[in-house]
Amino acid sequence: MKRRIALFLLTIRLVSVSQADDWPQWRGPNRDGKSAERGLDLDFTDRPPRLLWKTDGLGSGYSSVSIVGGVLYTTGNTDAGQSVIARSAEDGSEIWSTSITSAAPKHGYPGARCTPSVTDDHVYAISSDGQIVCLTRDGGQMVWSRNFVSDWQGKMMSGWGYSESPLVDGDLVICTPGGPQALLVALDRNTGKEVWKSAAFSGEAGKDGAGYSSVVVSNAGGVKQYITLTGRGVVSVDARTGRNLWTYNRVANSTANIPTPVAFGNYVFCSSGYGTGSALLQVGKVRGRITMREVYFLEAGTLQNHHGGMIQVGDYIYCGNGHNNGMPTCLDMDKANITWGGKMRGVGKGSAAVTMVGDSLLFRYESGHLASIKATPRSYQLQGHFMPDYQEGKSWAHPVVVDGRLYLREQDVLMCYDVSGR
């Protein structure tokens, strides 16, 4: 929104000295789904990228991967229980695997969901039954563990298991147990000790408990805050105290609220599937108090992101549109208007997990197909597509590109493709 939004780069202050091409957490360095890599070959029109290697043993799950310092981290249901796994990003060989549950949790769509968050010394993850753990990067030894249910009366809004990827910000780890007095909590990242907790909020739409989203940072209105999508909709809490600053109920549905909100400048864009819709919210400060107003709401027939995430570039949002659909779409947020796509079928089927690399969007469809689309508001420009070497069921793990390599997780299998253009 060139006329109304002062855009700035939202930087999550991980306690890390990660290289520029690292991907240390869910949706990348800034939790916005964007990779800063340039000069890659992401045009698949004439041929698919070359498969460098394929390995198995990651266990069942829909987790994406984090990559720091040449080591890849993910989670999966293994014979030992739900595990955090470290592999070589060079060849996929195992470095260590640590079980964080005694058995694989039971819920709908069994499998791990969390993408680990990685700092200089530690790895943080959340099991699908609600255990948050801190492990050493070197060897995967347990440092501390807390339980959402027993410690905070936590619960999910529905029965598909915790899907959150924890946020590490400075000395804190932020997560969403979904309890009545602990919707969100902040923990000391070194000890697991509670620093603050925020109470749940009510509303006509949705259900109590945690959603399937992950927390992002915003400095809207000049106040640092943590924002996430819960069972009752979007909530913002003061980063210092955990006090609720504002809530937004209209975007909630009673089945599953999933997409991570997009926070930029003084704005938040949020969406949910199951016939719900999308909204642009403006956050400000009046007489020292943080305020929020709905700029507009788009009904489900115009735009709803079921899951797979949204990418914000300037005035535009790129995402898959439609419940259980990833129809490629570009939204002009300033005009609340679809510039292309919306009802147009993509090359694959089902919802699409989207990652931006340079000026290209990688749409990974539930059917496994991966499409490269030019990130331009002018028109839909497909840059080819391909079917990965292995596809088992519902391909929900988000694609990751680090150091010219494309990593695709598919349940027990991990694939690595060369997109370096060398």
| pLDDT tens figures, 81-90 | 999 999 999 9
* Segments making up each domain of the chain, as ranges: 34-418
- The two tokens of residue 66 are 């984090």
Strand partners, 406: 401, 417
Helix, strand, coil proportions of the chain in percent (round to 5)? 0, 45, 55
- Asked if 265 contacts 272 with a C-beta cutoff of 8 angstroms, the reply is no
pLDDT (0 to 100) of residue 417: 98
Closest by CA to 99, choosing from 142, 67, 66, 57, is 142
- Asked if 409 contacts 397 with a C-beta cutoff of 8 angstroms, the reply is yes
CB-CB neighbours of 294 under 10 Å: 12
Angle at 67 between CA 61 and CA 69, to 5 degrees: 150
Strands of the 216-218 sheet, one edge to the other: 216-218, 225-230, 233-238, 244-248
- Asked if 356 contacts 372 with a C-beta cutoff of 8 angstroms, the reply is no
Helix (H, G, I), strand (E, B), or coil: what is residue 339?
A: strand
pLDDT (0 to 100) of residue 148: 98
**112: DSSP letter:** B
With a CB cutoff of 8 Å and minimum separation 6, the contacts of 141 are 98, 135
**322: DSSP letter:** B
Closest by CA to 396, choosing from 271, 305, 304, 308, is 308
**140: DSSP letter:** -
Looking up tokens 């899907």, which residue turns up? 163
Helix intervals (H) in 49-113: none
d(CA 182, CA 180): 6
- The two tokens of residue 254 are 């009673």
The reply to whether the predicted model has a pTM over 0.85 is yes
Residues lower than pLDDT 50 in the chain:
2-20
Looking up tokens 């959150």, which residue turns up? 164
pLDDT (0 to 100) of residue 212: 98
Closest by CA to 250, choosing from 277, 224, 273, is 277
107 alpha-carbon distance from chain centroid: 20
**149: DSSP letter:** H
Helix (H, G, I), strand (E, B), or coil: what is residue 150?
A: helix
pLDDT (0 to 100) of residue 1: 57
CB-CB neighbours of 148 under 10 Å: 26
pLDDT digits (tens, 9 = 90+) for 142-153: 999 999 999 999
* CATH architecture type of domain 34-418: 7 Propeller (2.130)
Q: What would the DSSP string read from start to end of 198-228?
A: E-----SSS-SSB-S---EEE-GGG--EEEE
pLDDT (0 to 100) of residue 200: 98
